[in-house]
Structure 1
Amino acid sequence: MHRRFSVLAVTTMTTVTAAVAAGCSAGSSANGNSGPAGYAKDGTFTYTIPSDPGAIDPYRNISSINEMGSLVYDPLVNVTPEGKIVSGLAERWQVDARGATFTLREGITCSDGTPLTARQVAAALTFLKDPKNQSPLYGLLVPATAFTVTADDTARTVKVTMQEPFALLLQTIGRTPIVCDKGMKNPKSLAKSSAGTGPYVLSDVVRGDHYTFTRRAGYTWGPAGVGNDAPGTPARVVVKIVPNETTAANLLLSGEVNMAAVRGADRKRLEARELKHFTLSSTLGELWFNQRDGRPGADPKVRKALITALDLDELARVSTGGQGKRAEALVANDSQPCAANNVEGLPRHDARQAAALLDQAGWTAGSKGIRGKGGKQLKVSLHYSSNEGKGNVAAAEVVSQRWKDLGVSVELVGDDLNSLNRAMFETGDFDVYWAGFKLNLPHLAVPFASGAVPPAGQNFTGIKNPSYDSLVARAARTAGEAGCKLWNDAERSLIAASDVVPVSEAEIPYFLNKGEAKTEGWLQIPIPTSLRVLR
């Protein structure tokens, strides 16, 4: 089985920060109308995403969860824009570090009309907790710590029992999207259809262009028991694939789309037109060094040299177009409970020191200015996402030039979503990746920074950091401030070893035209039942 995973949208639908509806109160609109009279009846809400994630299968393609999966798949619990955990499929729950019991609402149905049972939920979680099934949710929303799942259809309860304590059960298993039996039995069907309990059903797919979702009748189990029949609720939601931000901005201004994220140069002209928007903070740029055998990054001195050759302040400015700041952690600090500055130990920019480190590692100056060792040139393939805007591309070019100045032969490779997934989780054929994981809780970095390399695991750079492994094992069992300290110490051990470098953090603006949306700050997509179309 090939694992598909989007490093550019790795979010997990957990605790959130406050969100905004069209930049104003819930009863107001982006075009000046207010109240129910300003809402369109049975309209179409269209928003853009930069690339096609493929099949909307949350158990095999996590990027689809972030971009549109919440339209069709519900979790056991939801989170409000204010950060409060409320009901979802489960109407009540009991949870501690040893386990959780979820009691399902009555009357929940799957998209094919069949009832959702506790047994189906348990079957989905049982599938996800088995590492042999290679779901990208394993270790993210589904703890890698062993656990058992039992169900009682009569009582409508799903019970999770942990083998070892795990402090974030409600924020992980509680937020896992549930796929109904039809999709579990025939996952290939999810390429063109959906099998969930969400407020919409996938009704049309045009690859590379758009996905269309149709509103379900009788949906009453959204966040805190809301339905999908409020005034202005769209009858259809269209998710349009628009790789170019300028094109997305033009579509917004023409009224052809209702919402789009635009953070580049086009942001200013949208603001000048006074389009309402809300912003979400996210870690945008990170450097991940491939440490597998035979790669230059397997040598910690080489990793440190490459970092020391860079002016990280410059990179932060370039990658965010001057709109962001230096990242202080792998998780954007204003959207996580364990906020701390974890990058204080990073080496300062010093080109001479960088050269000295490479000399110590045996890579000395050679012909045509390229360093070599044992008759082999120092070559680095630097990959980056081509879908993350002009600033991201410019930052990758800056990194490439600084390393060339150091005497490194650099191959600069821009990847779309599919080639990014192949390089990271299939071929492993890269040396350094410039990308942003957009994590929302510190434990979400664990699969990428420890364990087996793909396809057996998700440690795509082959990091081996015993200190990190030890600290995260303790952190996973520890709640509260003590747990946060352990998580931050673990992250600092990665950064101190030059395993990964968080570089930039930016506020991503989501602009709206004739539409309203509320969003979970860490999820970075709209809450489906909050979407409204305005006249």
Structure 2
Amino acid sequence: MRIRFSVLIAATLTTGLAACSGGQAGVGGKPVEYAKDGTFTFTLPSDPGVVDPYRNIASLGEMGSLAYDPLINVTPEGEIVSGLAEKWQADEKTATFTLRSGVTCSDGTPLTASNVVKAFDYLKDPKNQSPLYGLLVPTTPFTATADDAARTVRVEMKTPFALLLQTLGRVPVICPKGVADPTLLEKSSAGTGPFVLSEIVRGDHYTFTLRKGYAWGPGGVRNDVPGTPAKIVAKVVPNETTAANLLLSGEVNMALVAGADRDRLAARKLPHFDVSATLGELWFNQRDGRPGTDQQVRRALTAALDLDELARVSTSGKGKRADGLVANDSQPCAADTVTGLLPATDPGQAAALLDQAGWSTGANGARAKNGKPLKLDLHYSTNDGEGNIAAAELVAQKWKALGVEVKLTGDDLNALNRAMFETGDFDAYWAGFKLNLPHQIVPFATGGTPPQGQNFVGIKNAAYEKLVAQADRTAGEAGCKLWNDAEKALFQSADVVPVSESEVPYFLNKAEARTEGWLQLPIPTSIRVLR
């Protein structure tokens, strides 16, 4: 099965940072007028390709929450409220969820506890290669059992896992037909959510239609309140300036605009909500035969860079230096895990480290080892805004000054997925994993390389592996210290270099919405279209 992953995932699971800032309700003292049976249109930076949240995190983040519900939800204020489950209790060893009565799938069939267990069993099997495994589904062995009469799902962990509620509780539940035959999800949805995927025009748009009778949104909210759109259209608009223009003209109601165009949208006083995000990180490919297998090379390439400068460039001057792999400062283990661990900016030291690693400079200024030139294929995401593209170009410039031959390769989300999780054909990746719980980085820094695992750069860091194994089963402050120490182990070896983080703005026009910062969409039942 082909795995799809997007570094545009924003997975705040325990807290909700970003509420709508400056909503249009009552602007100028005028009462809000909601549209009846309106259409809410938002932009996508690229076509996600596969609309299956168990195979493609890009579609989960960009559209999946419209059609699929989790067992529990989190409000913008950070409160855990009901979803498919009306009651729940959890500790480090067990969790029990009691489903709401009357929940149905989009085809009208009732959702049972057994259906939820089948979804969990599918996801926890590594053979199915879901990117949710390790992100929302613990790699710690567990069993899930159902009591359909009592409507309960019980999860029992083989060993303690400290974030049980915040992970399995947030898994989007696919209904039985979609679990049994994932090919159905290539052209339709099979969930319990407030909208149903009704049309796909590849490369152009995806249309979702309102479900009738939906009454199990966050905290039991319905989807029939005034202003709720009859349709939601996800329109593919790769160019951010074009997205901004469509937003200003009223042709779309929401767009992510993080680059230079955000200033003119702010000047027009368009409301927006913000999501904390790590925008820039360097990942060095450590698979056999790659220069990045040598820690001295990784530290040299890092020392050649001015990370403060890169942070300014990648965020277009709107962000700051990243102080860890998790951008959300309100996440439970927030701490500065970076300061003092990464090599300081020193091109001279960078050159000395490459010399020590055997990469000497020839008469032409190029570096080589045993007659083999030092070549690096540096990839970057073209969907993360103009600032990140400029930052990747700056990285290439600094490495070239060091005598490295650099090929710069821009990838859309589909090409990114192929490079990371299929071919592995790159030497370094400039990207941002927008994750908001520390355990979510584990699948990408431990285990086998694709297709045996998701460790796409082949990191082998014994100290990190030991610490995360302990952190997984340790709750509270003691667990947070272990998670933070684990991150530090990655930075000490220059396995990953976090560079920048920022508040990413989603602008609105003739619409209202709220977010808890988890995925890229606002809370579906909060979306309102204005007249």
Same fold (TM over 0.5): yes
Q: Distance in 2 between matches of 1:361 and 1:327?
A: 28
Give the structure 2 partner of residue 431 of structure 1. Answer: 427
Offset, 1:307 = 0.1
Q: Which amino acid aligns with 1:465?
A: N
Give the structure 2 partner of residue 475 of structure 1. Answer: 471
Aligned residues of 1:233 and 1:529 also touching (Cα < 8 A): yes
Aligned residues of 1:313 and 1:326 also touching (Cα < 8 A): yes
Give the structure 2 partner of residue 19 of structure 1. Answer: 18
Give the structure 1 partner of residue 81 of structure 2. Answer: 86
Give the structure 2 partner of residue 251 of structure 1. Answer: 246
Q: Distance in 2 between matches of 1:76 and 1:267?
A: 35
TM-score by length of 1: 0.97
* Residue 507 in structure 1 maps to residue 506 in structure 2: no
* Residue 390 in structure 1 maps to residue 402 in structure 2: no
Q: Distance in 1 between matches of 2:49 and 2:330?
A: 28
Q: Which amino acid aligns with 1:2?
A: R
Pairs within 5 Å for 1:270-419 = 270-344=265-339, 345-419=341-415
Can you list the C-alpha shifts for 1:377-409, whole angstroms capped at 9, x where unaligned? Answer: 000000000111111110000000000000000
Q: Which amino acid aligns with 1:449?
A: A
Q: Which amino acid aligns with 1:8?
A: L
Pairs within 5 Å for 1:440-459 = 440-459=436-455
Can you list the C-alpha shifts for 1:78-106, whole angstroms capped at 9, x where unaligned? Answer: 01010011100000012111011111000
Offset, 1:32 = 6.8
Q: Distance in 2 between matches of 1:240 and 1:500?
A: 34
Offset, 1:480 = 1.1
Give the structure 2 partner of residue 263 of structure 1. Answer: 258
Q: Distance in 2 between matches of 1:406 and 1:312?
A: 16
Compared CA separation, residues 31 and 119, structure 1 to 2 (3 A): farther
Offset, 1:20 = 2.5
Compared CA separation, residues 441 and 30, structure 1 to 2 (3 A): farther
Aligned residues of 1:29 and 1:534 also touching (Cα < 8 A): no
Q: Distance in 2 between matches of 1:83 and 1:324?
A: 23
Aligned residues of 1:30 and 1:512 also touching (Cα < 8 A): no
Aligned residues of 1:79 and 1:520 also touching (Cα < 8 A): yes
Compared CA separation, residues 331 and 18, structure 1 to 2 (3 A): closer
Q: Distance in 1 between matches of 2:228 and 2:432?
A: 33
* Unaligned runs of at least 5 residues, structure 1: none
Q: Distance in 2 between matches of 1:411 and 1:177?
A: 39
Give the structure 2 partner of residue 178 of structure 1. Answer: 173
Q: Distance in 2 between matches of 1:464 and 1:392?
A: 27
Q: Distance in 1 between matches of 2:383 and 2:53?
A: 21
Give the structure 2 partner of residue 491 of structure 1. Answer: 487
Q: Which amino acid aligns with 1:40?
A: A
Give the structure 2 partner of residue 154 of structure 1. Answer: 149
Offset, 1:142 = 0.3
TM-score by length of 2: 0.98
Q: Distance in 2 between matches of 1:452 and 1:29?
A: 54
Can you list the C-alpha shifts for 1:7-59, whole angstroms capped at 9, x where unaligned? Answer: 222x335112343236238xx16797434xx1111101111121111121111
Aligned residues: 530
Give the structure 1 partner of residue 93 of structure 2. Answer: 98
Offset, 1:185 = 1.7
Q: Distance in 2 between matches of 1:409 and 1:32?
A: 61
Aligned residues of 1:516 and 1:532 also touching (Cα < 8 A): yes
Offset, 1:217 = 0.3
Q: Distance in 1 between matches of 2:293 and 2:217?
A: 48
Query: Which of 202, 210, 219 is residue 207 of structure 1 equivalent to?
Result: 202
Q: Which amino acid aligns with 1:215?
A: L
Give the structure 1 partner of residue 62 of structure 2. Answer: 67
Aligned residues of 2:62 and 2:519 also touching (Cα < 8 A): no
Pairs within 5 Å for 1:105-116 = 105-116=100-111
Q: Distance in 2 between matches of 1:363 and 1:39?
A: 65
Secondary structure of the equivalent of 1:321?
A: coil
Q: Distance in 2 between matches of 1:56 and 1:154?
A: 32
